[in-house]
Structure 1
Amino acid sequence: MSKEMLNALDALEAEKGVSKEVVIEALEAALISAYKRHYGQAQNVEVEFDRKKGNIHVFAVKEVTEEVMDSQLEVSLKDAMLINPAYEIADKIRFEVTPKDFGRIAAQTAKQVILQRVREAERSIIYNEFSAYEKDIMQGVVERQDSRYIYVNLGKIEAVLSKQDQMANEFYQPHDRIKVYVSRVENTSKGPQVFVSRSHPDLLRRLFEQEVPEVYDGIVEIVSIAREAGDRSKIAVRSHDENIDPVGTCVGPKGQRVQALVNELKGENMDIVEWNEDPAVFIANALNPAEVSNVIFDKSNPKACTVVVPDYQLSLAIGKRGQNARLAAKLTGFKIDIKSESDMAAIYEQQNQEVQTEEFVEEELISEELAAVVEEDQVVAEDSVVEQVADEIIEE
């Protein structure tokens, strides 16, 4: 080993970003293993790498004892004091045992170990770099695809886009540039693995932060998102500044801001609604573009409600295949049952009839009970008269 080794380590650090100290530590550990393997030594060994000259020194470490039981691991106090009178029992003494041909043997043995440590260090650097992008968006290039994944090149690493994270209305071709949401980063035995998504609801959140400065600054807050990727989304927003309209801010002049997101997501429709503290108002807003006449909450279930809409608005409120109602329920967190005004009127009428029937039955029951009481009183009275007549006959 010489200064050429130091120059190689410096070049490795500059090109790969791998710390020279990490490589030297790996090298020292590998050389200890190489020495024990090639020279059949079981003693305690330390390897010291000269960071200035590039030389390597091997030291056998022995403990000072009163009586030597193992000469490879121990040295007598008498012999230790010949080296330095200050040595005491239990002190550690290093003896240099560097073989003449150790450099050649060590280089051959440690090569694979050093390469492995370098790969581990590179993986650690990549993992730390991309874990900082977790829950954020990045731009990548589609490389290839197989039956399980689409592989997206993010620069230093190839991320995977699974089928459930793809958008149904998109077809990916090699060399396509796409924005992806980094859903998670895992440090596996094969190296860092980055999972990305195009269907995650938070992809919308990050895209709005990029497109709308007020959202990025926190003036306008995205409270909740309900998304059916590639088809339609609903976004609830509110403003922390009373002078700023949250919906208008997100839509932008002539719809330019939201249109940029629609183009990025290949035509995915977006409904931006205003969040409100009043659940009834929020639910009515969430069912946009349908008009809502009334919102009735279920007393037995605080997270369920019935929404009444005009008859001609019923199909619009429910949406195609129930999509509008489904997204509104996800956005608000309420179980929503949509009824037309005529259906609700029929329900009220039926309820009134049931109440009237119950009242009529109760009145009939009361009448029957009264009649029974009267009849019983009459029987009692008649029995009293008969008894009185019988008494009079007996007296005569």
Structure 2
Amino acid sequence: MSSELLDALTILEKEKGISRDILIDAIEAALISAYRRNFNQAQNVRIDLNLGNGSMRVFARKEVVDEVFDPRLEISLEDAQKINPNYVVEDVVELEVTPKDFGRIAAQTAKQVVTQRVREAERGIIYSEFIDREEDIMTGIVQRQDPKFIYVSLGKIEAILPANEQMPNEHYKPHDRIKVFITKVEKTTKGPQIFVSRTHPGLLKRLFEIEVPEIYDGTVEIKSVAREAGDRSKISVHSDNPEVDPVGSCVGPRGTRVQAVVNELKGEKIDIVKWSEDPVVFVANALSPSKVLDVIVNEEEKATTVIVPDYQLSLAIGKRGQNARLAAKLTGWKIDIKAETDARESGIYPRDNEPLLTADDDFEDEDID
């Protein structure tokens, strides 16, 4: 083994982050393969590498037996004791069998095997790195695309952005820098495969964690997210600290924090509402920006009937039912919206108790267009 190869091990360890032991094991396996293939040998052999001077020797390992059936794998007790009188049956004798021209032949075969082992080790390192980043956000660079996928460089590896994970209002061009949410990391025969998304609710959550220090340090918590990517989203937030306004923290001074998230999502509208463990309050807040007069709760069916002023009915339902749909996803409650006049005619409003809200009440939420 040349000193250049030893120097290469050091360089690979530093540049690729591959353990020197892994590389040594790869070289030993390569040399054993080379010996068996080029010298038509099938015996059990061991490679002895001297990392100090770069020398190598091949040893055949043979089991000591009373009667030899396969001389490639066995040695008689009599012959073994000629080497060392202390050998007994079932011991293993090692005999040097290094061919004279082994170095040149071995180098050719070893190069290919070592390259493969290095590639496998690199794939293992990349997989270990990215499996810990599932459900995390990364910045990538668009490389290329085909009818099914967009390929995004994450540095060491290309991630796959499927068509159904692409935002409908975005057009991706090579060299565009985009933030993506890692949804899945798979180990395949061709190496790790990373799947990313621009539509996943987790992307919205992670973006707020980046922009809002109070979320990052745990002072403010995002309780739930409902998203129709590229169009509108709702998030509910909460803080155990009564002196902290969770909605205001997410909006930021003059709306700078939420606007940064909106810009990253190419203008996606975001409603930020205050979470409450009381479904009456939570559902009312979730239907922002519409005003709510009352919320009637059916605990058994996890359903609510929401009463809104007549002029607010369209706003509460939203375009193509979007506002009500997102509110239901956000709260986890079924929501049936009724106009005040219809509710009065059916006798469900007003109730005996005082109504939850009036049309003039203020909401603790923000609607960012």
TM-score by length of structure 2 reads: 0.90
The structure with more radius of gyration: 1
Aligned-pair Cα RMSD in Å:
1.5
1:296 alignment partner in structure 2: 296
Q: How far apart in 2 are the matches of 1:67 and 1:41? A: 21
User: Which blocks of at least 5 consecutive residues in structure 2 are unaligned?
Assistant: 349-369
1:223-267 CA-to-partner distances (Å, cap 9, x unmatched) read 000001111110001002111011111111221111111111111
Offset of 1:18 from its aligned partner? 2.6
SS of residue paired to 1:277: coil
Confirm or deny that 1:87 pairs with 2:72: no
Q: How far apart in 1 are the matches of 2:154 and 2:148? A: 19
Q: How far apart in 2 are the matches of 1:144 and 1:73? A: 55
2:250 alignment partner in structure 1: 250
Q: How many aligned positions are there?
A: 348
Q: How far apart in 2 are the matches of 1:132 and 1:50? A: 38
2:362 alignment partner in structure 1: none
Q: How far apart in 2 are the matches of 1:297 and 1:241? A: 28
Q: What does residue range 277-288 of structure 1 map to in structure 2 within 5 Å?
A: 277-288=277-288
SS of residue paired to 2:347: helix
Q: How far apart in 1 are the matches of 2:346 and 2:37? A: 89
Say which structure, 1 or 2, has more relative contact order (CA 8 Å, 6+ apart).
2
What letter matches 2:316 in structure 1? A
1:160-182 CA-to-partner distances (Å, cap 9, x unmatched) read 21111111111112221111111
Q: How far apart in 2 are the matches of 1:169 and 1:326? A: 20
Q: What does residue range 356-367 of structure 1 map to in structure 2 within 5 Å?
A: none
1:176-224 CA-to-partner distances (Å, cap 9, x unmatched) read 1111111122121111111111111011111111111000001100000
Q: What does residue range 194-233 of structure 1 map to in structure 2 within 5 Å?
A: 194-233=194-233
Q: How far apart in 2 are the matches of 1:8 and 1:32? A: 20
1:44 alignment partner in structure 2: 44
2:324 alignment partner in structure 1: 325
The farther-off stretch of 3-12 and 281-290 is: 3-12
Q: How far apart in 2 are the matches of 1:199 and 1:220? A: 23
Q: How far apart in 1 are the matches of 2:134 and 2:174? A: 24
Confirm or deny that 1:313 pairs with 2:312: yes
1:57 alignment partner in structure 2: 57
What letter matches 2:309 in structure 1? P
Offset of 1:76 from its aligned partner? 2.1
What letter matches 1:87 in structure 2? Y
Could you tell me the percent identity over the aligned residues?
65
1:184 alignment partner in structure 2: 184
Q: How far apart in 2 are the matches of 1:155 and 1:43? A: 44
Please state which structure has a larger fraction of its residues in helix: 1
Moved over 6 A (4+): none
Offset of 1:71 from its aligned partner? 2.2
Offset of 1:39 from its aligned partner? 1.9
TM-score by length of structure 1 reads: 0.84
SS of residue paired to 1:302: coil
User: Which blocks of at least 5 consecutive residues in structure 1 are unaligned?
Assistant: 350-396
The farther-off stretch of 267-276 and 145-154 is: 145-154
What letter matches 2:164 in structure 1? Q
Q: How far apart in 1 are the matches of 2:34 and 2:116? A: 15
1:341 alignment partner in structure 2: 340
2:260 alignment partner in structure 1: 260
